[in-house]
Structure 1
């Protein structure tokens, strides 16, 4: 009973599974009903000063829970193979584990390891990138981002702090300090009014016989104003060439507005403007107003991807944005655009003397026990479904 009281004083019941995803370090003691208090963990469950110094003074929470109350997906995630055991968890990931037979020294070592994971020493890449972001020079940030992307891909995969700073720097590298947020919104409103007038003139051309064939002065002024931001931008003279550059100007201004909102920590407006910019760019590609190279060279996709990386995957704003991207017709954000016109199903083979039709089984289908010479070139995705009344040969 004395051991039970000491255990309850140091280890609390796990209040909610969401605690496991907290950024605070914690210990989780998993047990079954038959071995709630194991003699091997008696030193750890005591009120020894060494335990208090190694746990409570470091801000580590101690929880306990019955293994039967833990979902199977979490058991697989934390790789729990035996109980009783003590897990060290940080940010929803397992740092280490103590199983039956481990002593007090193992627990103290695991506590120190958890402390080091909580306050890791920063690498030179992280320190340099954080300093550049704090100074806010887009050219220096862009150069550092390109250097990391070309030389330190492995570090980006294993270091979450570096990856988060990399995503933040990718957005800030597209910032332009020459234009304020109010100026960008005003110019965007001017462009939207002009594009609405163009669409109205097209729809009423049969009745009025009038069509806008020349860009107004304020639009040409905006084109000259943002001339350095658009590659190959020329002065607007005719409506066919002018509309393309007006739409591309709208895409660029929406991208800049998204970056400005991100700097002001307004993530909802930032991702909304980035999504509008990307959808406008996709619409231009569908209407053949821009080439595939111009579509890929647009920087909106990089801004939108970085914003999605920074947001929590279960955030309502992130979920709504991903749902809208799934409904965007045309090239998808996260999918590769095919460069070949060849149909994915390959050449359909017909069988002589038997009626039937071939149905497609998907791009990842491969017949069993078949080893083609060229795996990338061979695609056999068709399955023959015979007719119910095959022809007679009598």
Structure 2
């Protein structure tokens, strides 16, 4: 067995062209694995001219990682309806629907894999799981499936049975499965009947930032800022955040609520804020990254993660690192590693509001808790995650 394994890694996005946390996690893990002398070839779907099946791309900052775009209209969080309404199938030879395209992408990955040497396949999401299985079986190499979120997390139980079936079959066909928390491991065991011994938990790490704040305080000098960061989907619990916001404003009127993210429920949440009569105290920023997001973290007085089901919660670590007191859903994986955080049931808007008000009115106590949370987060690095993943690679390849 080589001490520097060659890994074919598959995922649906990487920064800077990412729309969620999965791309950030893939970036952090791939970069840290490369620093451990692991050879990573990262392949992801991207629409290319019809005559180009795949091409190496360079609009990324990964050092020592080869990134290749495979010609496909698959993209993060694309729905079946969106695919059917927007993909020009006749001109490119793509599949008729989203699910078939995941398997057509798998065939493209098999052809691509025949041009590369690799010891193991590692896939990160349901869209690329069939490709991981296909490349593994065709080349006779082990397959590791990493679960960042399941269809049950994303939909709150109102699942797309075809996606859930792809997840279930792929996880059973994998040699090993990685989950990002014990919380997610239990969901996989319960819903997909995987044996616990097949699953290794690897908590996500955190990428430190050095951004300086150009603070929102210039525009809202006397307001308390309460921050939410995440996709605007059922899974993230924004409706509960807004309902809690109404109650907070009754106690602390000079509070501003920032909703940083985009997603399918954007219009619904705008209407919800209007219905609650709080539109003038809620700012929807859209999806943010890098300096803009860092500035928000540093400006916030409180960060709230009200997720209905959160496999991990990387945004909570980012907030903690920025010195922001955090309030976390009990249905989250990150609470396993951050022991000094205020926890709340996502549906308990009265307690959520009370904790926000308490953090605003007693900032010294809130920041003392944040310092303890920062201590909890110190071991959570991508280097640690990469070391654990590399050990699993060696175990599977051996």
More strand, by proportion:
2
Q: TM-score, normalised by structure 1?
A: 0.22
Bigger radius of gyration among the two:
1
Q: TM-score, normalised by structure 2?
A: 0.22
More helix, by proportion:
1
